[in-house]
Amino acid sequence: MELKDDWEFNVLGIYNYRKPGPLSHYIQFIIENHEFVEGDIVEAGVFNGRSLLSIGLLLKEQSSPKQVYGYDTFAGFPNIFNINDDFSKFEELFSDDRISKIHLEKIRKNIDYRSLDLPNAVSPDNISLSGNFSNNSISTLQKKIDFLGLDNVHLVPGHFHDTMTDSNAKTNTIMATLLDCDLYQSYIDSLPFIWKRLSKGGYIYLDEYYSLKFPGARIATDEFFSDKRDKPQQHEVELGDFERWYVRKRF
């Protein structure tokens, strides 16, 4: 099925890949490289499938045979968080000169804003407007996949340490990844699996590298790439926008 108007994307809860937005760099990479870089598309952190369905539709529009694999527990955050997900880690990142003073001020302001809406203390479990991401339904998402005729989109439910393994791999070659799983341990579990399979020239969009909510994502990413020649890079920033970060596998 082809969606033409913006309202259709909105009603179905799908990111409109035809409009400028936070995923524009990721979308553009796929459009420009799907014929030249080998592998499928992987999304780590799916929630309600807003971007996952978008990529499935985009690939259909491009007549691409590539497949899209969406990894998620589809049950929300775990009950226990890693210490690296604590907001105090943002202060340490600033002290280590790994985030700017402006970034830290935005983080503090965001926590203040969220506290106005929450009866209890702000925590990693409620800092996002989506809460702990448990308000989703894998059956509803699958219904949308079937309704749209997206036979190129596949859901992989479960914890990353169980699903992102050599024995359970759904694809052995990856062209591009949207890494949107928020927490330290999720990045630690998913990055080795993805990087091992990422083609030369492949691309990872680091959704939380400039996060105001989840410090563990940046900490885990820096740890993983500390011994690699390829490093996180910043896309050119549009006026008033957040920073957008990615890694391109060149070596």
- Full-model pTM: 0.96
Cβ(176)–Cβ(26) below 8 Å: yes
Nearest to 90 by CA among 78, 103, 79: 103
Separation CA 63–CA 196 (nearest Å): 27
Q: Residues 92-103: pLDDT tens digits?
A: 999 999 999 999
Q: Residues 155-199: pLDDT tens digits?
A: 999 999 999 999 999 999 999 999 999 999 999 999 999 999 999
Q: Residues 24-57: pLDDT tens digits?
A: 999 999 999 999 999 999 999 999 999 999 999 9
- The mean per-residue pLDDT over the stretch 231-238 comes to 92
Separation CA 55–CA 26 (nearest Å): 10
Domains of the chain and any CATH numbers: 6-84+136-248 (3.40.50.150)
* CA 108 to chain CA mean position, Å: 23
